[in-house]
Each structure stands twice: as C-alpha cells, then as structure tokens.
Amino acid sequence: MQREVIGIDFGTTNSGAAFIEFDEPTIIENSENERVTPSVVYFKDGKDVVVGSAAKRNTIANPDRTVASIKRHMGTDHEVRIGNESYPPEYVAAHIIKKLVSDAEKRIGTPAPDVIITVPAYFMDSQRQAVKDAGEIAGLNVRGILNEPTAAALAFGFQEDDERKILVYDFGGGTFDVSVLTIGGGFFDVDATSGDNHLGGDDIDSRLEEFIVDKIKEKHKIDLTKKKGGNRALLQSLREEAERVKIQLSDKERATIHLPYLSKNGRGTPIAFSYTLTRQEFNELIYDFIERTRKPMQQALDDAALHPDEIDDILLVGGTTYIPAVQEFVRDFFGKEPEHRIDPIEVVSLGAAVATLKDGVKEKERSEGIRRPVEISDVISRSIGVSVADGTVSKIITRNTKIPITQTKPFTNAGDYVDEVIIEVHQGESLYPEEDGYLGEFWIDIEPKPVGESRIDVTFEIGEEFGILHVTAKDHDSGNERTVKMEAVGRLTKGKKNKWMRKMLKTHAIEVIVENIDTRDILNYYLNPSASIGDVRKDLMKKGILSEGMSIFYDDEELDDKTLVRDTGIEDGSALELR
C-alpha cells in the first residue's frame, strides 16, 4: 500500500489537514466532520487527552486543564502546568498534530506516517525545529517544513500557467506574515518575506477583552482582574464572548456583548453585563494592530524591488482577514480587490498538500490534471551573521537572499597577537544578538599578529535543506581552515524528545550506532520508527557519514529503502553498518 503524505496547517487558533485526491488538494474532515480543528488541548483527570472542539467546549468548566494558542510558545522554555505535571510546548502541539493525522488516516483509509507541516515564514530556526520535534513526538516522519505564505501561494497557483506576481497577506491567530512570490507553470519563486511573530488575532481578542473589563468596571465597579476565587472560569467566558462578538462584527454593524453573571450585589441579586459594540467602535479599538502590518508589507515589497501596482493578485490568509477593516486596509494599500476564491482558513492546509507533489517527497505518477512536480525556490527569512568585538552582529547573508547561497566576508583580529578567535553565529535583524537567535560557535587557530593585521574569511553556505548552515573560517596567514555544520537544534534533547514520545505513544526513537566501514566514522543516531530506510539514507547523507552508492546493513542484511524502521527489528543499542 502506498504511503500517503498529509499536509498539515498547524495554526494558533485552528489547524487543518489536506492531501492530494484525484490530482486536487482536498481538505480532510476530522472525526467531528469539521474542516478545521480548534488548536485546543484538554488534559482530563487521568491519562486521557482531548483535542479540538470537545476540548474547546471544556475551556470554561476546566480552564486550568485546557491549553490554547500553544503555537505562540514553540521554541521557547515555556512550560504548561497541568496539575502536578509540566509539559513542554512540543508535547502539547504533538497532540494536535496527532489528532489531525489519526483522523485523516481513518478518512482516507491509508496509513499516513509522513507529513509536511507549515510554519510562519518569520519563524526562527529554533521555532521551526520545535514544530518538527512536535511532529516526531506524535510518531510522524516530518518530510518538510513549509512557510505558510508559500503554502497559500501553492494552493492558489498550482494550476496557473501564466507568470504572476502575488502577495500573500497572512494575518493568523498568533503571527503576521507577508510574502511576495512569482508563480506560474508549476514554479513558485519566493521573492521576499517579512512579518511580525508577536502580532495576531489573539492580540485583537485580548484588546477586546480589556475593553469589556474596563466597561464592566465603569458600569458595575467590579474589577475582574482583581476578583479572587473562581475567576478563571469567568474570564474564560469573557474570552469566548469577545471571540464571538469579533466574528459577529465581520457580518453585522453591531453586536451585543452579554455576560449573564458577574457576581452578586449586596442583596444577593445576580449582576449581569450587556453592551452593544458597533463595528466602527471595534475598528477604532484595533486600528493600531492593523496599521502594524503596513511596515512588514512595505518591507517585503521593497526587498522584492516592487511597487504595489506591480502585484497581480493579493491573497488573504488567516481568520483575522475576515475582519472588514483588515480587508479595507489591504484594498486601500494596493488599490485593488484581494482574491476571494479560496477560504482564508483552509488555504494553507491545501497548499501543504500541494507541496507533497514536490520532487522527492513521495512517489507519484504524472497526470494531465495537475502540474508535477511542483518547484519551490525560497529565500532566508532572517539575516545571519557573526558577532564581532564591539558586541554587534555583522551580517554575512541578509534576509530575503535566494537559497541556495554561498557568501564570504573578511574579518580581522581584534587584539594583539591572539592565537585563536571564536566564530559565533547569530540569526536576526537586530544590530545586537537577539533572544533565540543564537545558532552556534566554534574556535579557529590563527597566526599571532598585531591587532588588525590578520585576515580571516568567514563563509556561510546555505542549501535548500531546512535548518542546515555550513560555516567556514579561514586564516590566510597560517592557512588554518575549519568548517562546521550548524543544524537547527530543538530546545528538547533527543532524550527528552524520546521521553515525551514514549509518554504519548508508548514507543520511542531507537538509539543506534552507525559506522561507516570505509572511513571508520561513527555516529550516535536516533531512528524515527515511522521513517523509511530511504529517509534514513537521505539524512545520513546530509550528515556526511553516508556516501552515494553505499548501502545500510543491519545484522549483515542490506536494508531496503522502502522498509519502515519499525518493521526492521532494530532495537536500542543496535549497530548499523554503512558499506
């Protein structure tokens, strides 16, 4: 049976899944017959975990055991406290991803251990790796990480023959992204991307909640932010009411905020709250959030060397783009109507499915219905450089540079007669090292010389593979040269990731020793049970321990590329030979 590859849109507010059916990207409904799944996880007493609409319905009754918007914490040290347990964001996210795929497998009747997961274009490498780790904790083989705006462009233009310039305006629940692409004939060329990882629909909800809290305080002299005892359920009711009113104002000019019970007065009578909010009042309340999208949008256009008039199509992505004021803002900026052919909530899932047609992702046959394979040319979304003596970061590759790319920049010694220098690599746009932007470091020996007389060339090489940067430092005087491969590293160690996989699935990644018989190189390696031996081969080649034409052997038997790791009988502590 052929292994299906599922496209996953892991969203802040909602998530979705899609696959290719009859040469068309198709949304896969979940077990509740819904086309999107709320990104909410409810940890029931005991070991049961509920995801989606059922979890969301439990938010008011069990706010201390329900988790929402976990995507905003990916790649951070945030811990979710449930009872006496603490969970990392990757574990919580894994439950969302697992539900999507489990429901999808039941719908399509085919095993689907392989996935492509989308992330905001402006995510740091550490955040991207955290999402990949979540997929692996869920027992899946993550075949690719895809930028959300690129996914939207794929869904919109996979059958487009003529070349067009498009801009994707992606205003989701937790992040804002904008990308400019050239599409046509099955090619998707990312020209520029920008964004704001701290701007989303959640911020609009919070602003509306604050507004309601202020109105309650003004009318009833009740301060919900200071009220003690049983307040979490009341605040959660307020959040749900704020979300409902926000959605209602997308279709109506006014909506009534109604909270039936706040407290009791001195006579024991229940106190209720009601307020009619107009769309105009709401627009004024959130105007600054919408205006904040202007700078990233203009930055992406500038980096792509384009004027708004040169954009052929504008795609609106994410639930926040349903707000009429957002649509009006985009319309005014470009002087034209955005596209409305694809649902902003579903477009990223559909595009992730189209991305499975990219060469090398899965076996496929050519047909007339859809252009195969899809070709995607991307850019780096964040600048990369090295820290220098004054504490700043000197950029070597700037944001929105096409990849693959190799770039070199000369440096010198900052002190007299030093015999070694540190090459410390950072990601981000700030003049100084950013939080979560550290990628790695290494030392290189140099010829001792007076300050400013050494020449040390630092070269960055980025291929098309996610999260891999080759850094080379060369001292011209001594001839010393050192190259280090820096890979995106998740916050979780392999051991921690295994712990959470074991807790969730009662299985774990298999720890083995890999030895190249020719070179005698040895590597401690973790095998994903859901990966095929072909996937393992590709990864070992990326790591430089396996050469073209070599085979993987276990117990003197050559392993077939199509075999799943879980079916090989390989156990912890086993040895694999490359020959």
Residues annotated as catalytic are 9, 71, 148, 170
CA–CA dist 222, 272 (Å, integer):
11
β pairing state of 141-147 and 114-119: parallel
The alpha helices in 188-318, defined as continuous H runs, are 201-220, 231-248, 279-291, 294-303
Kindly report the number of other CB atoms within 10 A of residue 153's CB atom: 31
Beta bridge partners of 146: 118
Q: In degrees, to the nearest 5, what angle opens at C-alpha 168 toward C-alphas 167 and 172?
A: 155
CA–CA dist 520, 500 (Å, integer):
33
CA–CA dist 151, 499 (Å, integer):
32
The burial class, CB within 10 Å (0-12 / 13-18 / 19+), for 253 is exposed
Greatest pairwise CA separation for the chain in angstroms: 88
CA 167 to chain centre: 19
CA–CA dist 300, 168 (Å, integer):
10
Beta bridge partners of 275: 257
Inter-residue contact 19 to 26 (CB < 8 Å): yes
Among 288, 328, 71, 96, residue whose Cα is nearest residue 197 = 71
Q: What is the rounded (10 degree) CA torsion for 232, 234, 237, 242? A: -100
Here the tokens at position 461 are: 């090489």
CA–CA dist 9, 36 (Å, integer):
9
Here the tokens at position 42 are: 């409810």
Kindly report the number of other CB atoms within 10 A of residue 568's CB atom: 21
3-state secondary structure of 386: strand
CA–CA dist 172, 148 (Å, integer):
10
The burial class, CB within 10 Å (0-12 / 13-18 / 19+), for 268 is exposed
My answer on whether omega of the bond before 88 falls inside 30° of 0, hence cis, is no
Here the tokens at position 34 are: 């819904």
- Signed CA dihedral, 560, 561, 565, 570: sign only: positive
CA–CA dist 244, 248 (Å, integer):
6
